[in-house]
Structure formats: C-alpha cells, structure tokens
Chains A and B, each alone.
Chain A
Amino acid sequence: GAGVSQSPSNKVTEKGKDVELRCDPISGHTALYWYRQSLGQGLEFLIYFQGNSAPDKSGLPSDRFSAERTGGSVSTLTIQRTQQEDSAVYLCASSQGDRPDTQYFGPGTRLTVL
C-alpha cells in the first residue's frame, strides 16, 4: 500500500513568511508524528497526534509552530514568521497507534529560510 507522503518536497521561503507543510499518513494509522532534522540538533520530536485525543505538543520549539490533523488523517504543520534557524528537514511518521510501536516515515520536506 501507499506509504507516508509529504508535500512539498522542498520549500524555500523568506524570513518572516509563514509556511505550511503537509503530511498524508498511511491509511488506517491512528498515530501521526512530526520530527525535525537539522545538522546541529539531529532528529527532534515536535508533536504527536493519536486518534481524537488532544495532541502532545511538548516538542514544539516555540509558539510560532503549530499543527493540526483534520479528520484523523492529513496533518498540516504551520510555521509562522519563519526564522533562519527553522531551516531543516521536517519528517512526518505514522503508526498503528499501539504503544510502543513502529513508526513509518515520509520522505520529508526540506525547508530553507533565506
């Protein structure tokens, strides 16, 4: 079946602009995760959605970052007033929702803030 998909693949934006990154999880997966991968910080957890429960936002680095998941499927990560330090690869993963379980990753969105 289809894996996790993310769009866009690459995004270049100017400092101060808002960006939206999209994630389409594997069909039937109830859990969805966002991670950020940067040279200096490695892979960092950002946010976790599980079914209809309130998301765990404990990894979001600032209030400029937000995410939503509509209808328990597609998720959008929004970064407002982007800064150069936001430049990174943003990875989305999904899983069946068992705890703990195996997460399957999308190809990521490379964000470059000029």
Chain B
Amino acid sequence: AQTVTQSQPEMSVQEAETVTLSCTYDTSENNYYLFWYKQPPSRQMILVIRQEAYKQQNATENRFSVNFQKAAKSFSLKISDSQLGDTAMYFCARSNSGYALNFGKGTSLLVTP
C-alpha cells in the first residue's frame, strides 16, 4: 500500500515561534497532489495548503509554507508566527491519478502562550 507517514505524533510550540511538521510519502505516480489539512477540536477538516507535484516552487499561504522535496518524497509544513488558533491536529494527505485522499496518522500541535 502506498503510505503517508507523519513521524511526529505530538508537537508543541510557543506563540509567535515557528514550527515544522514532517511528512513523507510513498508513490509510484509522477503526477500527484499533496495537501495539509488542519482539524481543530470542532472536527472540521480545513484545507491549509496544497502542492502540485509537477511544480518546483514551494506553496505558501500567509503564515503557512511547505518544503517539498520530490526526490526524497518529503512534504513538510512550516507554520510561522504561531498563534493559539493554530492548535489542532494536522494531517498530511496525497492524491495521485486516483481521487481518494491517502492520509497520514496526524500530528497534534499545541500552541502555548
């Protein structure tokens, strides 16, 4: 099975600091998309950022950016200027020529004052 691995079950960061969440994946496809979703206690899965595998440039969305290393099959999420509202579970996911998302197990991020 093609897997998505998040090696950090839990992380903690202080408000205003920067944190990086790791994700590695396995795929035999050349064209695929990678996503980071955020799930706060409300359960709502919220799209944070998306990366197309054919694009060299790393995606950015305000305080969120990714470091996409295609050869290494690595897709980490960097959160800058962390805010209390960033506290949530973060899921890395991949879709390729199919359509269903393949998710990692998640990283629980706690932002402390």
Contact = CB atoms under 8 A, between A and B. Distances in A.
A112 B42 CA distance: 17
Contacts, number: 55
A105 to B, nearest CB: 4
Q: What band does the interface of chain B fall in when counting residues whose beta carbon is under 8 Å from A? A: 20 to 34
Contacts of A102: 33, 35, 47, 50
Contact of A50 (B47, B95, B96, B99): B99
B99 A99 contact: yes
Nearest to A34: B100
Contact of A48 (B45, B91, B96, B100): B100
Contact of B43 (A56, A101, A107): A107
Interface in B64-113: 91, 93, 95-106
B79 to A, nearest CB: 20
Interface residues of A, number: 24
B112 to A, nearest CB: 25
Given A42-B106, A43-B91, A99 B47 contact: no
Interface of B: 32-33, 35, 37, 42-47, 50, 91, 93, 95-106
Interface of A: 31, 33, 35, 42-43, 45, 48, 50, 56, 59, 89, 91, 93, 99-108, 110
